[in-house]
Each structure stands twice: as structure tokens, then as C-alpha cells.
Amino acid sequence: MGVVGMGLVSPLGNDVEAAWRVLLEGGGAVRRIDNAGLPPLPVASASFDVSTVLNKLQQVGTERVSHMALMAARAALADAGGGSWNDPDRVGVYVGTGMGGASTMDHGYAALHSGGRIPPLTVPAGMANGAAAVIAMHMDIRGPVLTYAVACASSAVAIAEAAHALRRGEVDMAIAGGAEALLVPGALAAWHALRALAPPQEDDVKHSCRPFSRDRSGLVLGEGSAFLVLERERDMERSARAPYAWLAGSAVRCDAVHLTNPAVRGQVAALRAALAASELTPADVGYCNAHGTATVAGDPVECEALRAVWKEAAPKLALSSTKAAHGHLLGAAGALEAVWTIQALRTGDLPPTQGVVDIDAACAGLDHVLHSGVHRPGLRHAISNSFAFGGTNATLVFSKA
């Protein structure tokens, strides 16, 4: 499947090319916030103006995650050449989100416990499929409109499922990606209780998230949205569109071991199945945009899985985690990181893992890209990993157009 459009709302900015330059140059969006009842936390938030798309009345009953999704989906469609189609029944929307309308639910519970009034549209605004529904309504899309809630793999799964729908002939165009907006007190408190969040690094807050580093201390939560527009090759020929890259294959597999602790076996299975679906060998793939959350448990498992699959080719597999710069977007992470993987193929530049001084010995044996971007003009194939709570592992394989 061809990727013919990309759009995003991200902590690094809302223009793909500009955000990409920030990423390559070692810039970051992680900042410190102080919350009542919680210690200071580093987060990465996004900024956007939905009033350019929705009037005040239209904004009522919809929430931040839906606004982000609509803005990013519209940008992706505009990038693909516009939003007109002969048959709206033949266009599909595939959205991944981890926690859906988190801010709506958080505000509702706060009102309940303070004796305030709960807004009457709390249920439709907070429902998990709200973002997908808002995209469909405001873009007049009448084909399949589906939502995937698979924790951190949600939007990667959505992209994979969109490609399957195109391959089966269910749609002629798919708008696929994800959105997440959970930087609200309740969600932050819950993640803090899980002891998975990094404390702010005192001398340099933006480097609080340090994937693969010996001194890593946890993830940084981010928010945002990213979408791709996918079409079959024959449809691109009719419209004379050139793809940014090809989605060569994908795979989704489950650890079936633990709700939060990752397991090598499930990640290995996803990686091998994705390569098989793409008809590629490990040595064909030159770059991996890693899941790399900077958790003590997660990073070594991912590196072990990559070494197990790549074997003697592992030292030549370039690896980085962009979460160090923009935080972990949970359900939207797979889509945003798919954009970076496509950009790496388009430009031959690989984004770095920021803030790392010493690679953990358990994460060694791979070609880590650190500090700033590197140029690899011969890159032909790349993968993006999204490994989720619940044990679901998704790998997307992209090839240079």
C-alpha cells in the first residue's frame, strides 16, 4: 500500500517537515509541570487551534482528543491532494487510541466529587470512538469507521488494519492513525502510581526520557495525533499520485504472558511475521524506529528481540527511539513514529535517541543513533515497533518509494 499523505499534531509542531527538522537537530518538547498532590513530572504537550476548523457550537460535545484527530486527519488528506471523492462509501477511517476521551472523563469525575454539574454530553464526548466519529462527520466519510484500543500499539494496529481493508477491496482510500490526549490530573496520577514515569532531570528537563541508557528512569507522557492516507498502487496510478513510501507489510502478535511486563517471544514473533509479510530478510532492513520507552524492563527486551531476529546482521541495524524528544503518545505513538520512519526513508536521514550518555549493556549489539541525526542515503527498508501493555506487539514495515 502506498502512503500518499501525512498529517500530525505533535509536541514538536504540526508541520511534518518542520517537526522532522527539530527531531534531526536534537530538539525536544519535554517540559516540567507541577501538579497538586503529585511530584513534578516531565510531559510533552501539543499546541493547536481547532477554531480554524470547528466553530464554538461544533466544539461543544467533542473533546481535545477528537480535535487533535480531526486536525491531523485533515492535514493528511490535504497533503494527499484534497478531500473530494466520488463515493464516500469507499473511504474508511481507522483510528487508534489508548484512553479515548480522557480529559472529558477526568473533568466529569472531578465535577461529580466536587458537587458540580456533569456536562450532559460527557458520554458521547468521552467515548473511545469519538475521534473516529468526528473525523467521519466533518469529512463526510461513510465507509468503515473503526476504532482500535490496544494500548501503545493502537495506531500501529489501525494502520495495519487499514492496509488489510484496502487489500480486501473494502475501501479505495484509508485514513489511518491515532490520537491521544491524557495530560490531565487523573491520568497523570494513575501513571505515577504505576511507577513508570521518569522524574524530571534537574540539569536538563528535556532529556528526562533516555531510552536504552544505562541510567534511564522511565517514560515521559506526550499527547498528539498523526494520520496517514493509504491507497492501492492501481488507484495511485489513476490519480497520478506518487507515494511517500510503501507500507510493505505488518504483523500483530501477542506475548500472552503479563499485562505490563514485555516478553521476548511475542516481539520476536511480530518481527518475524512482519518481515515474512513484506518478503524481506532481516539484513534487508537498515533502520528500526524502536518502541523504546526508557523503562527499565522494556528496553532490554526489545533489544534482545531484535538481536534474536537480526542475528549476525544486528550490528548493522540502525536503531533509535524518538520518544526521547516528543514523549510517549501511547495510542498515537505508532502513527507518529510511522511518520518518522517514512521520513527516514524519504530523506535518508535517521533521527537520534536523545539524552543518552552510556548505552545499557543489555541494549548493546545494535547500531544506536545518538544525539543528532545521521545520513544513510542507501536506506531502502525500515520498521517501526509498537509494543503494548496487554502484550500486543505490532511491527510496520515500510519501503522506499
Of the residues 67, 107, 152, 207, only one is catalytic, namely: 152
d(CA 35, CA 38) in angstroms, rounded, equals 5
Going from the C-alpha of 218 to that of each of 39, 255, 294, 365, the distances in angstroms are 15, 21, 5, 22
C-beta separation of 345 from 351 below 8 A? no
Which residue stretches of 60-101 are H helix?
64-79
Among 99, 115, 30, 109, which Cα is nearest to 66's?
99
Q: Distance between CA 93 and CA 155 in Å, rounded?
A: 12
Task: Decide: helix, strand or coil at residue 241.
Answer: coil
Number of other residues whose CB lies within 10 A of the CB of residue 324: 34
- From the candidates 207, 291, 368, 381, give the one annotated as an active-site residue: 291
Whole-number Å distance between alpha carbons of 146 and 135 = 11
Dihedral (C-alpha) 333, 335, 340, 344: value to the nearest 10 degrees? Answer: 130
User: Which of 354, 334, 356, 327 lies closest to 43, judged by CA?
Assistant: 327
Kindly name the residue from 67, 107, 326, 328 that is annotated as catalytic: 328
Whole-angstrom Cα distance, residue 103 to residue 64?
Answer: 7
Do the Cβ atoms of 331 and 151 come closer than 8 Å?
yes
Q: b vs e for 280-295, b when ≥16 Cβ sit within 10 Å of the residue's Cβ?
A: bebeebbbbbbbbbbb
Q: Clarify whether 328 is annotated catalytic.
A: yes
Q: Which three cell numbers stand for residue 39?
A: 511530584
C-alpha separations of 358 from 5, 198, 207, 347, 368 in Å? 37, 17, 13, 28, 11
Can you tell me the distance from the alpha carbon of 37 to that of 26, in angstroms, rounded to the nearest whole number?
Answer: 33
Helix (H) or strand (E) holding 131: helix 130-139
Phi (first) and psi of residue 314, to 5 degrees: -60, -40
Residues marked as catalytic:
152, 291, 328
